[in-house]
Structure 1
Amino acid sequence: MPITDAVVHEIAMRWADIDSLNHVNNVVYVDYASEARAVLGEAVADAPVRSMSVRFLQPLLLSREPVAVASAVDGATVTQQIRRRGSDAVFAEIRTELGALRPIPPHPAGGMPFAMAVRRSDLDQSGNVSLPKLFQLVQELRILFVSEQVQQMQAGRFVVGTVAVEQARPVPWRAEPYAARARLTRVGAGSITIESEILDEDAVLVRSTSVMVGFDAQHQRSRRLDDDERAIFEATLDAS
């Protein structure tokens, strides 16, 4: 349902916004939301972001028409919807919680280890990794995990349903990569859940939870997992 009493900001689309399925890449929605949040006033634009979740409702294709980001502020919560100009159809909804960062308890299970390098271009004006780039880093972790351990997740058979990212501490640039880890935490009828973290020694800097939904690329709609996929994912879950 479209949010009411919203401030609407239009943003031009770019070819670079599109992924291999010709959909707007999930990281780009965060970029759209951050761009629109910047015009909501200093109290919102300059506040630290404690967490952000993105719920993907339908694929958004490239267009010469700009996207319209409708933003509504309720205390420390900013709710934003990605729409087409002149339409109430919602392609994604982003919920941002503002406020002081809080520690994140470490996960009891180890997960698959990775090394995650930060680039200078990932940094914002504060010298820390920007919010869109944090989403890009956890996307990278998710793809690495899938390619290493869940190789049966073929291209085009799954899409991202939701992504939630919580930040405990800023992530500055450093020469050595950060430790990271990812694990499969749930297997559902038509989706799986992957959790990933970026670490500084034993401290969790960033945690992300992503729900991957079975997708029928031919008919552009969600689908249930088949028996072979379920068996493979459940074996991976047991091994986590």
Structure 2
Amino acid sequence: MRHLYRCPLRWADMDAYGHVNNVVFLRYLEEARIDFLFRPDKEFQQGSVVARHEIDYKRQLVHRHEPVDIELWVTEIRAASFTLAYEIKDGDRIYVRASTVIVPFDFEAQRPRRLTAEEREFLQKYMDDAADAAGAGKGAGVEEGAVAA
């Protein structure tokens, strides 16, 4: 299953040519990740840090008033890290494909920690490695999240 975040575009996101600036896409990924991991009804509440980002820009996104869809899913779960994959898109038109390696973190002890059983169970619901290998992942289930204001 995939998580869907409807990301609003802002005037400040655009460059001099009216396109969304490439740097802004990292903020969009962050917004989708926060919506996915840190909602009150979710199990993942103890904190995490980003260890790595990879981003492939596929086409320019022209600024408009309608939000853009960000689909997010889990591609790997390890003892003390997991990987999220993303597509920023409109239907079949993909603007960005990206991935993020995330490390659970104990902020009191100031060190990485292992995933809890509850976190692992939550992440497993969004495991979609077949869709990641296929690229666009047609036919994957999508669960919609909240839209940031």
Unpaired runs of at least 5, structure 1: 1-109
Residue 8 of structure 2 is matched in structure 1 by 117
Number of aligned residue pairs: give it. 130
- Larger-gyration structure (1/2): 1
Aligned residue among 98, 108, 111 for 1:221: 111
Give CA-to-partner distance per residue, 1:61-87, whole Å, 9 cap, x none: xxxxxxxxxxxxxxxxxxxxxxxxxxx
State the distance in 2 between where 1:178 and 1:139 align.
14
| 2:103 partner letter | V
Q: How far off is 1:137 after superposition?
A: 0.8
Aligned residue among 121, 124, 128 for 1:231: 121
Residue 137 of structure 1 is matched in structure 2 by 28
State the distance in 2 between where 1:148 and 1:202 align.
28
State the distance in 2 between where 1:133 and 1:198 align.
12
State the distance in 2 between where 1:208 and 1:141 align.
12
Q: How does 1:146-157 map to 2 (within 5 A)?
A: 146-147=37-38, 151-155=42-46, 157=47
Q: Aligned pair in 2 of structure 1 residues 227, 175: CA closer, same or farther (>3 Å)?
A: closer
SS of the residue 2:115 aligns to: coil
Q: How does 1:88-103 map to 2 (within 5 A)?
A: none
Aligned residue among 89, 102, 105 for 1:199: 89
Q: How far off is 1:150 after superposition?
A: 8.1
SS of the residue 2:32 aligns to: helix
Moved segments of 4+, more than 6 Å: none
SS of the residue 2:96 aligns to: strand
- Does 2:70 match 1:176? no
Give CA-to-partner distance per residue, 1:10-50, whole Å, 9 cap, x none: xxxxxxxxxxxxxxxxxxxxxxxxxxxxxxxxxxxxxxxxx
What is the aligned-residue identity percentage?
Answer: 30
SS of the residue 1:237 aligns to: coil
Q: Is the 8 A contact 1:192 1:213 kept in 2?
A: yes
Q: Is the 8 A contact 2:20 2:61 kept in 1?
A: yes
Aligned residue among 158, 162, 178 for 2:48: 158
| 1:222 partner letter | P
| 1:191 partner letter | S
Give CA-to-partner distance per residue, 1:191-217, whole Å, 9 cap, x none: 111111111320211112111101121
Q: How does 1:39-58 map to 2 (within 5 A)?
A: none
| 2:112 partner letter | S
Q: Aligned pair in 2 of structure 1 residues 235, 163: CA closer, same or farther (>3 Å)?
A: same
Higher relative CO (Cα under 8 Å, sequence separation at least 6) belongs to 2
Aligned residue among 89, 92, 101 for 1:211: 101
SS of the residue 1:214 aligns to: strand
Using structure 2 for the length normalisation, give the TM-score.
Answer: 0.75
**Aligned CA-pair RMSD:** 2.4
State the distance in 1 between where 2:90 and 2:119 align.
34
